[in-house]
Structure 1
Amino acid sequence: METLIMVGQLLLGLSLLVGLHEFGHLITAKMFGMRVEKFSIGFPPKIFGFKIGETEYSLSAIPLGGFVKISGMIDESLDTEALAKDPEPYEFRAKPAWQRLIVMLGGIIVNVIIGIVIFVVLVYKQGETYVPKAEIDENGIVAYELAQQIGLQTGDRIINVSGKPYDRLSDLYSPDVLLDDNTYYTVNRDGEEIKIDIPAGFIDNFSEENAAARFVSIRAPFTIAQIEPGSFAEQAGLQVGDRILSINDQPIEFFDQFQTIVQDYKGQDVNLLVSRKASDDENALASPVEITATVNEAGQLGFYTQLDIDYATKSYSFGQSLKEGTNKAFGVVFVNAKAMGKMFTGDVSPKNLSGPIGIAKIFGNEWDWIRFWANVALISMILAFMNLLPIPALDGGHVVFLLYEMVSGRKPSDKFLENAQKVGMVLLLTLMVFVIGNDIWKLF
């Protein structure tokens, strides 16, 4: 079922984005009087279709893209027979270069608009909830495997990033930070300031699923929020609201300390000192209670925790949402452009590229509409960026040839455009095989 949910979100999200992208081409083509022969979401074989006027609309079986076939245009269909004749007034090739340019940018423009609109709405409706820097200043971080690799330690208080202030925990591993050159953390460790360099290519470690959870989290005290029925915690008499002060006389202040210590007592009984409210009165003093409990073979007692974190919340007016949502949308483009540049220089590994499986994992295995629309906005901006790349067979390739025509006054020959389209299709198919292979490799 979880796989079906991921696949369902992927198909719905891509169908919406591809359909609207191709609609951008269709509406601009019709606006300039061009004949649109086909409009397809997905690639053949066709599942079903219908015709309205001169245009056949269809849904096809391979949901990895879509296309609009405009009369007189050399596209992925490579249908060049009609090009041997003189151009008809309704054909793409018969129109001025500036009109053809707008048609080729139509899908990209729609993707950008969709991304901005969704980001703006989400910012306005949801605002932001995050772990502020003040929480790190108070208790420090928990350094997991990836953080320890670069020299961070649990309890470190990160003062700044590359000498610049930051606002929230997620800023520490944002793509913008990890893609910058010569970046470092300034850390307060036991009263001493230490510089921790972030090595080049460190972002490659974040290409794997849940990598951020292997980097850092906030260090925080905790209370018991829920007891698993039938667990050793229930049998021992632990209660919701209890705070564990020590295990076998080893003091406990933070949840990471509890996790570390309890692992040493798998399958054994332990003595717990627990702070427990004397009554339902919030002002009542907590009293210490001694409890003997058994740790299971997984190193757990059988309860869920509530971390004592003071999250910050921020709401935005509609005007502020317009600015913040637009910044978020174009931030996606800038990060992808920076990552693409570093791939060419070898600073970032191509393994960070993801195909359909990787995209499906982004949506997750639970249907959460807020996360769904956030990911649709993200992918919409990425599609806009990728389609603008100057690769023949992509919109960006057509844009380059049209700009050349507008500047030089000379139109590339139909034979050149046909051959360029073939080269572009080979490049795209190679890239598709690579990213799908990348996805499969990450599964093992």
Structure 2
Amino acid sequence: MANIIGIVLFALGIGVTIALHEAGHMYSARAFGMRVRRFSIGFGPKLVGFKAGKTEYSLAALPVGGFCDIAGMIPNDENLTAEEAPHAMYKKPAWQRIVVMSGGIAVNIVLGFSILFGIALTAGIPDMDVDIRPQVGAVTCSADQIGPDSFQECQGTGPAGRAGVQPGDVILAVDGTKLESFAQLRDAVIDSPGEPVVLTIERGGRELEMTVTPETVTRFNAEGQPFEAGSIGLVNKPLDIIVKHDNPVSAAVASAKYSAYMAKSTVIAIGQIPAKVPGILASIFGAERAQDSPMSVVGASRLGGELVERDLWASFFMMLASLNYFLALFNLIPLPPFDGGHIAVICYEKIRNLLRWARGLAPKGAVDYRGLMPITYVMAALLMGFGALVIVADVVNPIRIFG
């Protein structure tokens, strides 16, 4: 039951996120005297709707976004009526049009930050200033593994301790290869029983090099089979990266830092989407689905259900915050029909007129979008096709956090 509640709640969260994004466009347009014809959550056939004032509100069948139809968004708007003409968007100053097209993006950024701020004050968010490099927590002896979770008793220190490694040392590299995690050190040592390895260590601001020869011990693989492995007797220091903030100022600072990290990660993820399409397609026909594979509303809601089922509300809202940053940055792509595409056209218009002014020429009017319609149609088709592909993958081979 909790899983179903989580699915419904996350789906509602996505719907609210999309609605608020479009509301950012609608209310900023109205603030500048523009006429908003339609406000829709979803695309395709209308499921339900009503009209209030001059605006028709609707919920459509395909939950892959939404739109806000502003009269005169383009100068060649064939549907522009005589009554709407004074309120046409293309007749407004460029800065007002940019504000309107940025309204949804701004709402998503504010919403994403607000969610993180709430998490920081209640459950805690990752501390972006914590030292995540592999650090030694304890120096121990090397012991044979005798069961899945049990080891033989041993005394003294292992090879690392005898070589001079101390608790608190940061392991920078092994055999010259930079380490990003303690797991990388473990893997390198396991593969080198009896073979000396050179550890590069940071201690008190100084770098040291120590040669350590892993002892040969027994370990078990994933299938439960014993094998000979290397061990140097080190235990990593646990990372305490989740910090709860009682002070709203420190919570705001921490949220801003984590927002910057989320934004950077989102930009990288967006750039990788085309390369992930073959993997999504293969997963539909039985291949393993990558954990970092793009998800649709369906897949994200399923994960939301898993998190609520296990009472992981902080992770639930963290995922919702991530969704808001994704929508904000995805919409900044400078191609139509994205918000960034409209902003790019307006900026082009201003640069063009500035150059004309420098040459003593009169400014031209708003850019005619008809030349961009082929790009718009291609991008819209790609978006719809990609959305359908991911929805199918989320149904037949969904991503699962807990197996």
Q: State the TM bucket, normalised to the shorter chain.
A: 0.5 to 0.7
Q: 1:89 aligns with which of 78, 86, 93?
A: 86
User: Where does structure 1 differ by over 6 angstroms across 4 or more consecutive aligned residues?
Assistant: 84-87, 129-135, 161-166, 184-188, 259-262, 346-350
Distance 1:350 1:115, change over 3 A: farther
Contact 2:307 2:316 in 1 (8 A): no
Distance 1:264 1:434, change over 3 A: closer
**What's the counterpart of residue 334 of structure 1?**
264
Are 2:113 and 1:111 equivalent residues in the alignment?
no
**What's the counterpart of residue 68 of structure 2?**
68
Amino acid at match of 2:378: V
- Structure 1 residue 326, shift from structure 2 partner: 1.3
1:138 counterpart SS class: strand
**What's the counterpart of residue 300 of structure 2?**
359
**What's the counterpart of residue 46 of structure 2?**
46
**What's the counterpart of residue 341 of structure 2?**
397
Amino acid at match of 1:416: G
CA distance in 2, matches of 1:186, 1:16: 45
TM-superposition CA deviations, 1:417-442 (whole Å, max 9, x none)? 44443233123223324434554674
1:388 counterpart SS class: coil
Identical amino acids, percent of aligned pairs:
29
Are 2:248 and 1:318 equivalent residues in the alignment?
yes
Q: 1:159 aligns with which of 161, 171, 194?
A: 171
CA distance in 2, matches of 1:434, 1:341: 18
**What's the counterpart of residue 102 of structure 1?**
99
Query: RMSD in angstroms over aligned alpha carbons?
Result: 4.5
- Structure 1 residue 325, shift from structure 2 partner: 0.5
Distance 1:194 1:83, change over 3 A: farther
CA distance in 1, matches of 2:277, 2:138: 34
CA distance in 1, matches of 2:173, 2:258: 20
After superposition, residues 226-305 of structure 1 pair within 5 angstroms as none
- Structure 1 residue 92, shift from structure 2 partner: 1.2
Contact 2:28 2:103 in 1 (8 A): yes
Amino acid at match of 2:171: I
**What's the counterpart of residue 166 of structure 2?**
none
Distance 1:423 1:340, change over 3 A: same
Amino acid at match of 1:117: S
Mind listing any 5+ residue stretches in structure 1 that lack a counterpart?
141-154, 174-183, 196-255, 266-308
1:393 counterpart SS class: coil
Distance 1:134 1:110, change over 3 A: same
- Structure 1 residue 87, shift from structure 2 partner: 7.3
Amino acid at match of 1:324: A
Contact 2:49 2:59 in 1 (8 A): yes
**What's the counterpart of residue 56 of structure 1?**
56
- Structure 1 residue 69, shift from structure 2 partner: 1.1
**What's the counterpart of residue 350 of structure 2?**
406
CA distance in 1, matches of 2:172, 2:278: 27
Distance 1:161 1:371, change over 3 A: farther
CA distance in 2, matches of 1:116, 1:43: 27
2:327 counterpart SS class: helix
TM-superposition CA deviations, 1:194-252 (whole Å, max 9, x none)? 59xxxxxxxxxxxxxxxxxxxxxxxxxxxxxxxxxxxxxxxxxxxxxxxxxxxxxxxxx
Are 2:126 and 1:126 equivalent residues in the alignment?
no
Mind listing any 5+ residue stretches in structure 2 that lack a counterpart?
141-159, 161-168, 201-217, 227-236, 281-291, 354-363
Paired positions, count: 310
CA distance in 1, matches of 2:81, 2:370: 11
CA distance in 2, matches of 1:420, 1:129: 40
Amino acid at match of 1:415: R
Contact 1:354 1:435 in 2 (8 A): yes
Amino acid at match of 1:81: E
Amino acid at match of 2:387: M
CA distance in 1, matches of 2:170, 2:278: 27
**What's the counterpart of residue 390 of structure 2?**
435
